[in-house]
């Protein structure tokens, strides 16, 4: 009887420990994630008062920049998993050394992308289809902002280092400080110095390099404390790149899905594409909350596996799935309740509202599925299971594409399109669930 009462007590204690870790990592991570799009919002609010052409130019240039940078989000994901494993193994010098390899890779990739964007800025803007009036402003903003691309990628990699070290508070503080500095510089340079849209670009570049400098200071301080080498290591940089390739495939596949969905919505009509953009913005916001749990999962799972604790990794995975479902249910209920308030914030067009309402219900109902997907995605990333994630995402893309393209062909509307988005998330959930159930992702040790 003693053993029977002790087991549930241990189980409850373990759950409480997991809950505490998840909250301590996920809440600051959520704050940092939300702070990122605030950069663009602040720029838009400030530049918007210069004129419609300037705002349109900013929109085009920002879309190009965000696409270029988001492709390399694997710098954060792969670095988090690799560093967390070594933290779990108790080898902090090796963990920081692994993080430095990721940062060096970020600098190399950033310099390469910058070298491509600088001379081709006007061509890229033209390919994007900017109007004649918006093109010069978009080109100016893109060309100047390209100088900040290496800093943006360093921020991604350094964020991964700190997450792997189980520190999500510092990225939150840096993101908040960066947002404030960016906003102040934008106002000062756009209006105070009279630089117009160029001032907005310079303000963002300075803020991004300032954030990168803070991150590098934190990492370098840790490296000195633990005697880790700071010099670039070709083998380590190559290993970081190889670990990132499958995650790059995964990210590109997901971007393709979102682009296909937008293209299909555009074919359905003006009201449908307008409603789709509103719903997509909400879907992205909800994703931040779920992604915060996934980030906690990357750090926690990597640490358990690095420590050789397969049972702890399984228990943490189960608890995080429970969190994902619970948060998904809460978010779904909030979407249903907020529908009458949410839509008028974006449009006064009754037709757009009528098109969006039933699609929002689909989004709400799918949130528990999204919760499971984000969590399992984070678990497998933390385990360094990138090749499987790439394969699973390609399968999802292959299922989603014909289903989405059939929507206009069969006379379906936006609700049908978002039903296919739910199908996409369901396929992702099934592929990830099969993998986690198999246990093949559980590879212990300081390196996978």
pLDDT digits (tens, 9 = 90+) for 293-307: 999 999 999 999 999
C-alpha distances in angstroms, 441 versus 109, 268, 318, 401, 418?
A: 29, 41, 14, 28, 31
pLDDT of residue 9: 54
Contacts of 83 (CB under 8 A, 6+ apart): 95, 96, 98, 99, 102, 160, 161, 163, 164, 165, 302
For the residues 113-138, what does the mean pLDDT come to?
89
**Structure confidence at residue 8 (pLDDT):** 56
What is the rounded distance in angstroms from the CA atom of residue 401 to the CA atom of residue 409?
Answer: 13
Query: Do the Cβ atoms of 148 and 70 come closer than 8 Å?
Result: no
The residue among 214 and 448 whose pLDDT is bigger is 214
Residue 25 and residue 22: Cα distance in Å, rounded?
5
Q: What is the pLDDT of residue 322?
A: 95
pLDDT, residue 1, reads: 43
Is the pLDDT at 4 greater than 50? The verdict is no
Question: pLDDT-based confidence at 2, cuts 50/70/90?
Answer: very low
Query: What CA dihedral angle connects 291, 293, 299 and 304, to 10 degrees?
Result: -140
Q: Which of 315, 317, 270, 275 is nearest to 293 (CA)?
A: 317
């Amino acid at each position: 009887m003693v053993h029977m009462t002790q087991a549930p007590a241990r189980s409850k204690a373990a759950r409480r420990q997991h809950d505490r870790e998840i909250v301590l990592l996920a809440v600051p991570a959520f704050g940092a994630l939300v702070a990122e799009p605030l950069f663009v919002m602040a720029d838009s609010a400030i530049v918007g008062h210069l004129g419609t052409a300037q705002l349109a130019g900013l929109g085009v240039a920002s879309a190009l920049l965000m696409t270029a940078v988001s492709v390399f989000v694997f710098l954060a994901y792969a670095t988090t998993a690799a560093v967390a494993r070594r933290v779990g193994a108790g080898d902090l010098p090796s963990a920081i050394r692994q993080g430095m390899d990721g940062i060096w890779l970020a600098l190399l990739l950033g310099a390469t992308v910058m070298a491509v964007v600088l001379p081709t800025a006007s061509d890229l803007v033209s390919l994007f289809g900017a109007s004649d009036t918006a093109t010069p402003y978009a080109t100016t903003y893109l060309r100047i902002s390209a100088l900040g691309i290496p800093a943006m990628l360093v921020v991604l990699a350094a964020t991964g280092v700190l997450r792997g070290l189980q520190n999500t508070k510092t990225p939150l503080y840096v993101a908040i400080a960066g947002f404030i500095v960016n906003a102040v510089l934008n106002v000062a340079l756009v209006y105070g110095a009279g630089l117009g849209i160029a001032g907005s670009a310079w303000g963002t570049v300075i803020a991004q390099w300032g954030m990168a400098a803070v991150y590098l200071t934190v990492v370098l301080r840790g490296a000195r404390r633990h005697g880790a080498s700071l010099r670039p290591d070709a083998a380590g940089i190559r290993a970081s790149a190889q670990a990132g390739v499958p995650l790059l495939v995964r990210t590109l596949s997901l971007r393709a899905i979102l682009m296909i969905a937008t293209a299909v919505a555009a074919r359905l009509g003006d009201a449908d594409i307008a409603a789709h953009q509103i719903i997509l913005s909400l879907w992205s916001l909800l994703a931040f909350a779920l992604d915060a749990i996934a980030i906690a999962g990357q750090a926690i799972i990597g640490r358990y596996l690095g420590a050789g604790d397969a049972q702890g990794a399984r228990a943490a995975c189960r608890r995080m799935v429970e969190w994902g479902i619970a948060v998904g249910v809460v978010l779904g209920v909030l979407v249903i309740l907020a529908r009458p308030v949410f839509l008028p914030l974006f449009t006064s067009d009754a037709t757009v509202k009528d098109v969006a309402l039933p699609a929002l219900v689909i989004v709400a109902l799918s949130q528990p599925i999204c919760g499971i997907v984000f969590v399992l995605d984070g678990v497998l990333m933390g385990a360094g299971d990138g090749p499987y994630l790439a394969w699973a995402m390609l399968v999802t893309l292959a299922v989603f594409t014909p289903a989405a393209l059939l929507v206009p062909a069969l006379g379906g509307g936006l609700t049908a399109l978002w039903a296919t988005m739910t199908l996409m998330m369901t396929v992702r959930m099934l592929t990830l669930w099969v993998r986690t159930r198999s246990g093949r992702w559980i590879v212990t040790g300081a390196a996978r």
